[in-house]
Structure 1
C-alpha cells in the first residue's frame, strides 16, 4: 500500500498521467466498442430497422454504466482520499461496502429485467414496428445486466489500486471477444438482434472475470474486511459517484429525447441516422471519460495529501488532452462525413444524406464536451459535489432539454443536432462563471 501511495504522491506527474491515461482510454474504448460493433454488424446484417431498434435499447446500457460508476467512482474516490489521509482501515471498509452494494443492485436489476423486458422496451420508446426487435435485443442483455454494473465498479477500484493495465487488458479482451461472437451469432448462426446482445453480454461477463483476478494477486491491497454497514459511508459513496451517474443517465435520456423528437419530425429513418451519430458520440465520450477516470486516482490521493500543485498540473494536462481529442474528431467529421456513415451501413440514399447533414452540426459539440467532462471529474475527484453536479446536470439534462425544446422551432431538424452544441457551450460558460465567482468570494474573505 505504501509503495503504491508513494508512486502517486511523489513520482513525476507526467509519467503517472500518461500511464493512467493510456490504459484508461483503451479500457473505455473497449467498453464502447462492444456497442459500436453491435451497431456495425446489425447495420450490415439486419439493416436500418435493426439500427433503429438498437438505438432505442442503448439507454439501458447508460443505466448499467451509470450504476456501475455510481458505486465505482464514488467508492474509489472516497477510498483514495482516505488513503491520502492515511486512514487505511476506512479505505478497506469503503471497498467492502461498495462491492457488496454493487453485487446486490446488479442481481436485483437482472432478475427484474427478465420479467419486464416488454414494458422496458415500450418505456424506452419502442412502438409496434420496433418492439419485436427491441425485445430480442433486450432479452440477450437484461439477464446478465449485473455483469455490466460490476465491470465498471471493479475496474474503478483496480485502477485506484495502481493496476490500470489490468483494467485495460480486461476490457480489450472482452472487446475482441465481442467482435468474434457478433460475427458468429449474427452471420454464422443467424441469431439476429438476440445474437448481438448475447455477444455483448458474454463479453461483459468475461471482462468481470478477468478483472477479478486482481484480488488473487499478492500485491492487491483491496481487501474484503468485516464491517458495520454505515449510512454516512453510503451517503459519501453515492454523493461522490452521483456526477458520474448523472452523466450516464442523462446520456440515456438524451438518446430517448432525440429518438422521440426525430420520430416526430423525420420518422424511423431519423432514428436510424441518429443511431450512427450516437455511436460515434459514444466512442468520443468514452475517450473523454477515459481521461476523466485517468485523473481521478491521481487527483484524489494528492488532494487528500494536500499536494495541490500536482492536482492543478494534472487538471491542465487533462484539459489540453481533451481539447486535442475533440478537435481531431471534429475535423474528421467535417472532412470525411460519408466515410463515417459507410462504416455503419451499406445502405444509400436518405439515411446517408440525413446523417452527413447531422454530422456538420452535432460534431461541433466535441470541441467543448471533453472540457466539461474533465472539469466535472476534477471537482468530483476532490469531493466538490456541488460544482461537479452543476456540470453533470447542466450538460446532461437541463441545458440540453432547453435546447431541444427551443432550437427545432427555429432551425427545424437541424435544431435537434444543435441542441447538443448548445448544452455543452452553456455548461462551459456556467463552469467558467462558477470558477470566477469562487475566486471572487475567496478574495473577499481574505481581505
Structure 2
C-alpha cells in the first residue's frame, strides 16, 4: 500500500486529479453509452414504441447501478480512509466483506428477476400497449443483473487501488462491444428489444471480467481475507454509499414519475420525447458522477491522513470542472436542439416539436446539477453522511416530488421540464445555507 499511499498523499495534486478525472469520466461515459446506443438503435430500428418501452425499463438500471455504487463507493471510501489512517488490516476486511455482499445481492436479484419479468414490467409503469416490448427488454437484462452491480462495486475498489486506467479500459471495452452487438442483434439478426438488452448485458459481463484481472496483477494491493461478518463494518459501508444509492435510485424514481405525468398529460409521444431527454441527461450525469468518483479516492485518503488543504484544493478543481461541463451542455442544447433530437429518431412532427421545447427548459438544470453532485461527493468522501444524504435526498427526491406536484399545475407540460431545474436550484440554495451555518458555528466555537 505504501507506493499508492505516497502518490495520493504527497504527489502533485493537479496531476493526480486530472489522471483520475480522465479515467473516471471516460469510464462513466462508457456505462451511460451502453444505454444511449440502445436508445439510438431502438429509436431507428423499432421506432417510438420501442423508445417508450426502453424509457420504462431505464429505472431498473438505476437500481442496479445504485446498488453497485452503494457497495462500491461505500466500501471504497471506508477502505481509503482506513489506509490514510494506517489501518491496513481493516481496509482489507472492508474490501472482502463488501465484495462478498455485493455478489450475493446480485445473484439474489438475478434469480428473483428472471421469474417475475411481467410483474416488474407493470411495476415500472408499463401498460397493455407497452408490456410486450418491456418484457422483451427485461428478459435480456434481468438474468445478468449481478454483472451490473458487480461492475460498479469492483470498479470503485480498482480506482481506489490506484488503477483508474483499468477501470476505464474495462468500461470502454464494454461500451464498444455493446455498439457492435447492438447493431448485429437489432439490424442483422432482427432480435428487437431482446437483442438490445442482450447486447448491453454481455457488454456488462465483459466489463466485470476485465476488472477482475486487477486481482491477479502485480499492481493489486487488495487482499482477500477470511470472510468475517461484522454488522458495524456493513453499517459503515452502507452509510458511506447511501448518497450514491439515493442519487441513482432517485433518477429511476424521476423517470417513473415523469413517465406517469407525461402519459396523463400528452400520452405516449410525451414519454418518447422524454426518453430522448432522459438519455442526454444520463450522459451529462455520467460526466458529473465521473468527476465525483475521481475526487473520492483523493479526498478520502487525504482526509484520513489529516491533509485538509489537499482536500479543499481537489474540491475547488472539481467544482470548476463541473460548472464548465454544465455550461457546455446547456449552450449546446440551446443552440442545437434539433440536432440532438435527430440523433435519436428519424421521425418528424409532434415528437420533434415536444422534445425541442423540453430541451430549452430541462437543460437549464445542467448548470447547477454538477455543483450539487460534487458537493455531495465531497461530504461522502469524508464520511459526513448526514450532509451528503441531505444533498442527495433534496435534489433526487424531495424537491423533485414537490416540483412535479406543483409546477405542471402552473406551467402545464412545461412544468414537468422545469421540475429538474427547480430541484437543482433549491438543493444548491440549501447546500449554500448549510455551508454558511456550519462556518458560523465553527467560528463561534473557535
Q: Determine if the TM-score, normalized by the shorter chain, exceeds 0.5.
A: yes
Structure 2 unaligned regions, length at least 5: none
Aligned to 1:417: 417
Aligned to 1:438: 438
Name the CA distance, whole Å, in 2 between partners of 1:277 and 1:183: 22
Give the secondary-structure state (helix, strand or coil) at the position aligned to 1:214: helix
Name the CA distance, whole Å, in 2 between partners of 1:200 and 1:359: 27
Name the CA distance, whole Å, in 2 between partners of 1:443 and 1:168: 42
Name the CA distance, whole Å, in 2 between partners of 1:335 and 1:273: 18
Name the CA distance, whole Å, in 2 between partners of 1:337 and 1:345: 13
Name the CA distance, whole Å, in 2 between partners of 1:440 and 1:14: 30
Alpha-carbon distance, 1:227 to partner:
3.8
Aligned to 1:253: 253
Aligned to 2:150: 150
Name the CA distance, whole Å, in 1 between partners of 2:350 and 2:76: 46
Aligned to 1:351: 351
Aligned to 1:13: 13
Aligned to 1:399: 399
2:183 is equivalent to residue 183 of structure 1? yes
Compute the TM-score of the two structures, normalised by the length of structure 2: 1.00
Alpha-carbon distance, 1:218 to partner:
1.6
Q: For 1:132-185, what per-residue CA distance to the aligned partner results, in whole angstroms no more than 9, with x for missing partners?
A: 000000000000000000000000000000000000000000000000000000
Name the CA distance, whole Å, in 2 between partners of 1:198 and 1:234: 33
Alpha-carbon distance, 1:270 to partner:
0.1
Q: For 1:411-435, what per-residue CA distance to the aligned partner results, in whole angstroms no more than 9, with x for missing partners?
A: 0000000000000000000000000
Name the CA distance, whole Å, in 1 between partners of 2:114 and 2:126: 17
Alpha-carbon distance, 1:219 to partner:
2.0
Question: Where do 1:41-56 residues align within 5 Å?
Answer: 41-56=41-56
Give the secondary-structure state (helix, strand or coil) at the position aligned to 1:383: coil
Aligned to 1:275: 275
Aligned to 2:342: 342
Aligned to 2:63: 63
2:291 is equivalent to residue 304 of structure 1? no
Name the CA distance, whole Å, in 1 between partners of 2:88 and 2:419: 46
Name the CA distance, whole Å, in 2 between partners of 1:265 and 1:338: 23
Name the CA distance, whole Å, in 2 between partners of 1:43 and 1:186: 11
Alpha-carbon distance, 1:290 to partner:
0.1
Give the secondary-structure state (helix, strand or coil) at the position aligned to 2:427: helix
2:363 is equivalent to residue 363 of structure 1? yes
Q: For 1:7-60, what per-residue CA distance to the aligned partner results, in whole angstroms no more than 9, with x for missing partners?
A: 000001000000000000000000000000000000000000000000000000
Q: For 1:291-346, what per-residue CA distance to the aligned partner results, in whole angstroms no more than 9, with x for missing partners?
A: 00000000000000000000000000000000000000000000000000000000
Aligned to 2:232: 232
Aligned to 1:294: 294
Alpha-carbon distance, 1:441 to partner:
1.1
Name the CA distance, whole Å, in 1 between partners of 2:144 and 2:224: 24
Give the secondary-structure state (helix, strand or coil) at the position aligned to 1:229: coil
2:223 is equivalent to residue 223 of structure 1? yes
Aligned to 1:77: 77
What count of residue pairs does the alignment treat as equivalent? 446
Q: For 1:116-139, what per-residue CA distance to the aligned partner results, in whole angstroms no more than 9, with x for missing partners?
A: 110000000000000000000000
Q: For 1:197-232, what per-residue CA distance to the aligned partner results, in whole angstroms no more than 9, with x for missing partners?
A: 000000000000000000010220111011421000
Structure 1 stretches of 4+ with a deviation exceeding 2 A read none
Q: Report the RMSD for the aligned CA atoms in angstroms.
A: 0.4
Aligned to 1:96: 96
Give the secondary-structure state (helix, strand or coil) at the position aligned to 1:162: coil
Name the CA distance, whole Å, in 2 between partners of 1:398 and 1:420: 11
Alpha-carbon distance, 1:400 to partner:
0.5
Give the secondary-structure state (helix, strand or coil) at the position aligned to 2:220: coil
Name the CA distance, whole Å, in 1 between partners of 2:159 and 2:168: 9
Name the CA distance, whole Å, in 2 between partners of 1:304 and 1:296: 12
Alpha-carbon distance, 1:442 to partner:
1.3
Name the CA distance, whole Å, in 2 between partners of 1:426 and 1:298: 29
Name the CA distance, whole Å, in 2 between partners of 1:37 and 1:219: 33
